[in-house]
Chains A and B, each alone.
Chain A
Amino acid sequence: MITAERKPFDEIYGLTEGHDKVLVAGCDTCVAVCLTGGEKEAEILAAELRIKAKEDGRDVQIEHTAAIRQCEWEYLDAIAAKVEEYPVVLSMACGIGIQSMAEKFAPKLVLPAVNTNMLGMPQEHAVWLERCGACGDCVIGETAGICPVVRCSKSLMNGPCGGSHDGKCEVTTPEKEDIDCAWALIWERLLAQGREELMLVNRPPKNWSKSSSGGPRKMVREEAKPV
């Protein structure tokens, strides 16, 4: 699923400067599941902003709302009337939802209150790990179900590199936590599957033209288009 993290409060508060009416819009799909931007979180953020504004002696009306899903226009109809009343919307949806709102309500100011960060999987409750790079050319069938594009810090097709140590990547996270070496994991699982010969295949260079490197992508389902 798509995960996002709320921007630092100061940054969000800065976005309200110069406005006397602000709407915080949550989304009840992905960002609600990762506990960042659902209706609950939107309500909380609106309250925080109101309190801070009061502290600063600013007279600003800050409300919240939420759409079931911000990325599909049909679902925005339900909140359209409310959105129309506000000159600026702080959206807590993922980047797709924010852009969808910005397009539907253009030229209204729709600003991001979150940083969309990854296609992630909850490893345990409240912990998400990056899993998919949306590269458009999936190879994980050959790498024991582990993505080398985004779980290897160097996107190696023929890993591991010399920095792999104790099953960990040479890179640590900004929080100084270890990252599992994807290729060490791939090796382990291929052994468990009895398919270690796949580690010896010299994989050719990846075709990056299918990823966003080749330009923004579009997908059409002709057979599903309305008649």
Chain B
Amino acid sequence: MTATEYKAGSNLEKILSEGKFAVTGECGPPKSADGTVIEEKAKILKGYVDAVNITDNQTAVVRVCSMASGVQAQQNGLEAIMQMTCRDRNRLAMQADILGASVLGIKNILCLTGDHMSFGNHPEAKGVHDLDAINLIKMYKDMRDEAKFQCGDDMPVAPQLYIGCAENPFGDPFEFRALRLKKKVEAGADFMQTQCIFNIPKFKKWMEEVRAIGLHKEVKILAGITPIKGAGMAKYMKNFVPGMDVPQEIVDRIAAQEKGAPQQAEGKKLAVEMIKELAEVEGVAGVHLMAVEWEPAVPEIVEAAGLLPRPAVA
């Protein structure tokens, strides 16, 4: 593929286009005007991931905005995947922000619905939800491919974007999940990341349905993995995080170890095993490693999973 055939020409896009197994990471910006946090995280992850998600007020908790942290990450040599939720911005802000992001060199954008305000630290805020994730994907696709604003007006210079979305293979209604991905693909998603997977059999079943309608050929699917830091975390995710499916065996496996370093080691080991298993599933184009506030675990996991060195693309 030549440069002109890429939609944005980002590192992530090139790696996925060449059929290489991609690795993405995740970074939460700080809850303050602290400019050093992203720098530090970038240093840890650089060279171990192809691009890193920069979350956008994740779980409705206010942090430095994704665009600013994304630009910081890129200034520190780590390609960013900016995130945009539908909860905090209307279509004007979303278009303005993506133009700003594009101008500042960001090329990957993940379009999300967004966790509800009630989960975060500002539950009294008014949720915007002017658009939903599917509207957002289409809007960015039309900006990129048609050089048009959502209202239909033309723009002289279109943003170059590699558009992603998220999907939860464990959400309900289960029979509709593959179809929902289809809607996102039709709207214009180029790549997608799943929520973190613990129930691999259920994920494989979902992939069957995805493959049955040929979606794996139309969108690059990255399987989400979260290394478990301890039994407490496993239990919390099982019981309190919406849309998460954590089989009891996994909780038990971690809990069988001693608290602290032994449980952490088991969590990393489990993550490596899952990555290796998921890499064999037809249609999985990469892994999305969400080491939430545990970025130092990433280099070890990526290496143990045999994913080094990361490919260098032109």
How many residue pairs bridge A and B at CB < 8 Å? 94
Complex CA gap A155/B171 in Å reads 18
**Which chain A residue has the least Cβ–Cβ distance from B113?**
A161
B176 within 8 A of A: yes
Write out, one digit per residue, whether chain A residues 205-216 have a CB within 8 A of any chain B CB (1) or not (0).
110100000000
Q: Is the CB of B129 within 8 A of A156?
A: yes
A8 within 8 A of B: no
Write out, one digit per residue, whether chain A residues 147-160 have a CB within 8 A of any chain B CB (1) or not (0).
00000011111111
Contacts of B167 in A (CB 8 A): 162
Contacts of A159 in B (CB 8 A): 132
Q: Is the CB of A160 within 8 A of B172?
A: yes
Interface residues of A in 168-227 (CB under 8 A from B): 170-172, 181, 184, 187-188, 199-200, 202-206, 208
With A162-B171, A170-B116: A187-B176 Cβ-Cβ less than 8 Å: yes
Complex CA gap A202/B182 in Å reads 10
Q: Is the CB of B132 within 8 A of A164?
A: no
Q: Interface residues of A: mostly helix, strand, loop or mixed?
A: loop
**Which chain A residue has the least Cβ–Cβ distance from B187?**
A202
* Minimal beta-carbon separation of A119 from chain B (angstroms): 19
With A162-B167, A163-B242: A199-B195 Cβ-Cβ less than 8 Å: no
Contacts of B229 in A (CB 8 A): none
Identify which of B176, B183, B187 gathers the most chain A CB atoms within 10 Å of its CB.
B176
Complex CA gap A38/B91 in Å reads 43
Write out, one digit per residue, whether chain B residues 243-254 have a CB within 8 A of any chain A CB (1) or not (0).
100000000000
A165 within 8 A of B: yes
Q: Is the CB of B183 within 8 A of A200?
A: yes
With A163-B243, A202-B186: A155-B129 Cβ-Cβ less than 8 Å: yes
Contacts of B187 in A (CB 8 A): 202
With A167-B173, A184-B173, A208-B130: A162-B138 Cβ-Cβ less than 8 Å: no
Q: Is the CB of B113 within 8 A of A153?
A: no
Contacts of B119 in A (CB 8 A): 170
Interface residues of A in 70-111 (CB under 8 A from B): none
With A162-B113, A163-B116: A154-B132 Cβ-Cβ less than 8 Å: yes
B127 within 8 A of A: yes
Q: Is the CB of B186 within 8 A of A181?
A: no
Contacts of B135 in A (CB 8 A): 157-158, 203-205
Contacts of A204 in B (CB 8 A): 135
Identify which of B115, B167, B186, B242 gathers the most chain A CB atoms within 10 Å of its CB.
B242
Which single member of A158, A170, A184 contacts B134 (CB below 8 Å)?
A158
Contacts of A172 in B (CB 8 A): 118
With A162-B195, A202-B134: A187-B173 Cβ-Cβ less than 8 Å: yes
Contacts of A124 in B (CB 8 A): none
B288 within 8 A of A: no
Complex CA gap A158/B168 in Å reads 15
Q: Is the CB of A200 within 8 A of B172?
A: no
* Minimal beta-carbon separation of B5 from chain A (angstroms): 26
B131 within 8 A of A: yes
Complex CA gap A158/B129 in Å reads 12
Complex CA gap A200/B184 in Å reads 10
Chain A to chain B: the 10 pairs with minimum beta-carbon distance, closest first: A162-B168, A170-B242, A158-B134, A163-B242, A161-B113, A156-B132, A205-B135, A155-B129, A171-B116, A154-B129
24 A/B residue pairs, CB under 8 Å, sorted by A = A153-B127, A157-B132, A158-B183, A160-B171, A160-B172, A160-B176, A161-B113, A161-B132, A162-B166, A162-B195, A162-B242, A163-B115, A163-B242, A164-B171, A164-B172, A165-B171, A165-B172, A170-B115, A170-B116, A171-B116, A199-B179, A203-B134, A205-B130, A205-B139
Query: Could you list which residues of chain A lie within 8 angstroms of chain B, going by C-beta atoms?
Result: 153-167, 170-172, 181, 184, 187-188, 199-200, 202-206, 208
